[in-house]
Amino acid sequence: MSNRREFITLLGGAAAWPLQARAQQPGKLPTMGIIGSGTPATQSHWYAAFVQRPRELGWIEGRTVAVEYRWVEGREERYVEVAAEFVRLKVDVIVTSGTPAVMTLKEATSTIPIVFATAGDPVANHLVASLARPGGNVTGLATLSADLAGKRIELLREVVPGLSHLAIMGNVGNPFTLLEMGEVQAAARTLGFDAVTLEIRRAQDIAPAFDALKGRSEALYVCIDALANTNRIPINILAAGAHLPTMHGSRDYIEGGGLMSYGANFPDQFRRAADYVDKILHGAKPADIPVEQPTKFDLIVNLTTARALGLTIPPTILVRADEVIE
């Protein structure tokens, strides 16, 4: 099954654009290029939220817009290949998520508009000049993930009695993850924790990172990233084997067996990104469309994982949770 048809199948007919041949109007329709940082299996619900909105605004695939889908499966080298391909195809707008994807796209083109549905700190990572006036050809929605590091650790401390040793796992090939790891380390120091970092760059680094940990931690903070997201199930399996409660940045990780997540609501971010695309296809310039910040934050708790770890989730956490998975 092709990536595109696999994606449409996973989304389901209700949310996806109708499959219609584009050959009837070659070269006439505006073309949207979509780059998924993970796989259809890991991110289909995000893009389901995205594709529903353009349909509401009258963008019907094969009739009013052409769409090209590509998936990089958490492999950063794929961004370069897909970016070059979209430049050759002369797409009218590119939609993606995550700092590495946007950085690669910016290097590949300074003219094709780029919309990011998620990016941790777009100003610090030089994706945009400022939130109010992005400048250049890039705009979208920030997630503020690094800013939430302290909140996530405080939540972990409420759930894990006597927590004093924290492990932090992150893809150090992602510039934003480096920022987030720094924020987590600073927050851990403020709370008096000892922190150890587990640096990964590819899927093969994950198991050795856990081997190197060897009982030096009582909980694990996983920095949100396409590599971590794509491999969230093995990460959570290894964490469970090491008896480590985990904290994450989005709901996906909790569905994959993690203990807790707190962060921006990603489907909401992707839905809002579609409005950016609509404005751009109607002639607006990315430089003039302000970067927006999250409006919805979710706290998700997995009680099944808590029980497996022998943890009792305090009522103070359960009453604040947006969703409890059992």
- Please report, for the domain that includes residue 303, its CATH number: 3.40.50.2300
The confidence score (pLDDT) of residue 121 equals 87
**123 and 227 share one domain:** no
**161 and 224 share one domain:** yes
**202 and 152 share one domain:** yes
**199 and 134 share one domain:** no
**187 and 123 share one domain:** no
Distance CA 91, CA 98 (A): 20
Residue 107 sits in which domain range? 3-143+266-295
Bridge partners of 262, per DSSP, are 299
pTM for the predicted model, two decimal places = 0.83
**Where does residue 1 rank: exposed (0-12), middle (13-18), buried (19+ CB within 10 A)?**
exposed
**134 and 271 share one domain:** yes
**37 and 154 share one domain:** no
**129 and 157 share one domain:** no
Tokens of 67: 């769409």
**260 and 270 share one domain:** no
Sequence-distant (6+) residues with CB within 8 A of 295 are: 268
**157 and 74 share one domain:** no
Cα four-point dihedral sign 236, 238, 242, 248: negative
**62 and 120 share one domain:** yes
**123 and 164 share one domain:** no
Residue-level pLDDT, tens digit, the chain, 326 residues: 444 444 444 444 333 433 333 333 445 799 999 998 888 877 777 888 898 898 899 999 889 999 999 998 878 789 999 999 999 999 999 999 988 899 999 999 999 999 999 998 899 889 999 999 999 999 999 987 778 999 999 999 999 989 999 999 999 998 889 999 999 999 999 999 999 999 999 999 999 999 999 888 999 999 999 899 999 999 999 999 999 999 999 998 999 999 999 999 999 999 999 999 999 999 999 999 999 999 899 999 999 999 999 999 999 999 999 999 99
Task: Say if CB 240 and CB 309 are below 8 A apart.
Answer: yes
The confidence score (pLDDT) of residue 305 equals 97
Domain count within the chain: 2
